Amino acid sequence: MVNLKIGLIGLGIMGKPMAKNLLKAGYELYVYDIIPEAVKEIETAGAKGCASIKDVAANAGLILIMVPDSPQVKEVALGAGGLYEHAKSGTLVVDMSSIAPLVSQEVGAKLAEKGIRFMDAPVSGGEPKAIDGTLSFMVGGTKEDFAEAEPVLKHMGASVVLVGKLGSGNTTKLANQIIVALNIAAVSEAFALATKAGVDPAAVFEAIKGGLAGSTVMNAKAPMILDGNFKPGFKIDLHSKDLTNALDTAKSLGIPLFLTAQIFQTVQHLRANGEGGSDHSAIAKFYEAMCGLEIRENK
């Protein structure tokens, strides 16, 4: 269904490559971002640049949102000049941002007053998988809306799964982010031990990555740690936001998340020490500072 006109609001680290993959698939794409240079870049790749959310809504039947957090989603969807004012009845809005599940439900209920359909579909995989189109989508919404959005999402992701009603996508993403953060911490702690003991952490990685301790997270982040490369694919600041949402959601549900609270404090320490813009693999820097060493491949 490549004749479908799609809108994409948000052209940051993730939004740009996602837009390019939709263009490669042959979709007519209308894009908007608060940074005009980002719009120009995707316009050069073949998209139709828009000067406002209103312009996107006037042209697209399916609108994707990819912005940093709950306040930005609410501004795009419900703010002055947003989709509540300008999207046509029947429009399907798919929010790919990672936000609080309760905010997804709030936005969806408000848009429904105008006959605008809404789904939450946060992603996992970071910039590398956004570039190669192999992201994982965790989707919350109705089966009918999912069937409409799925073919589009599959041009940006290798896995597109409907996990439940509206808000379920972001609940799943919070679970994902807890596991990812704690996995990076576990890798960092284990490699710090190896380094202090005089064992090359790169050799440890090679020895264990095919066993039970191996994971997609370790395969993606261990090489960055070993190389001292903390160029952001997914920033510490964004992971802090996700962990905040996880802890807030847990509080509303009345359940404890002990390990999540601990890794949140680690992330906050890193942010306080200027690492907020680094990749979340920089969790390793906390352990390096604590242990007085660097986790690097012995070359």
- Residue (of 49, 29, 52) closest to 39 by Cα position: 49
Rounded distance, CA 64 to CA 149, Å?
Answer: 10
The 10s digit of each residue's pLDDT in 96-109 is 999 999 999 999 99
The position carrying tokens 């640049």 is: 49
Rounded distance, CA 242 to CA 248, Å?
Answer: 10
The 10s digit of each residue's pLDDT in 68-96 is 999 999 999 999 999 999 999 999 999 99
pLDDT over threshold 60, residue 125: yes
pLDDT over threshold 60, residue 2: no
Q: Whole-number mean pLDDT of the chain?
A: 97
Query: Which pLDDT score, from 0 to 100, does residue 1 have?
Result: 46
Rounded distance, CA 233 to CA 198, Å?
Answer: 30
Query: Which pLDDT score, from 0 to 100, does residue 76 have?
Result: 98
Query: Which pLDDT score, from 0 to 100, does residue 126 have?
Result: 86
Angle of helix 70-78 relative to helix 101-112, nearest 10 degrees? 0
In one-letter notation, the amino acid at residue 32 is Y
Query: Which pLDDT score, from 0 to 100, does residue 233 have?
Result: 83
Distances from the Cα of 47 to the Cαs of 8, 20, 115, 296, in angstroms? 10, 9, 27, 42
* C-beta of residue 5 within 8 angstroms of C-beta of residue 28: yes
Which residues share a beta bridge with 94?
A: 64, 119
The 10s digit of each residue's pLDDT in 143-188 is 999 999 999 999 999 999 999 999 999 999 999 999 999 999 999 9
Distances from the Cα of 39 to the Cαs of 28, 43, 55, 232, in angstroms? 15, 6, 13, 21
Q: Residues 6 or more apart from 222 whose CB is under 8 A from it? A: 187, 191, 205, 209
What six digits make up the tokens of 30? 């209308």
The residues that are catalytic are 173
| Percent above pLDDT 70 for the chain | 99
The 10s digit of each residue's pLDDT in 213-259 is 999 999 999 999 999 999 998 899 999 999 999 999 999 999 999 99
Domains and CATH numbers, the chain: 5-165 (3.40.50.720), 171-291 (1.10.1040.10)
Rounded distance, CA 144 to CA 136, Å?
Answer: 20
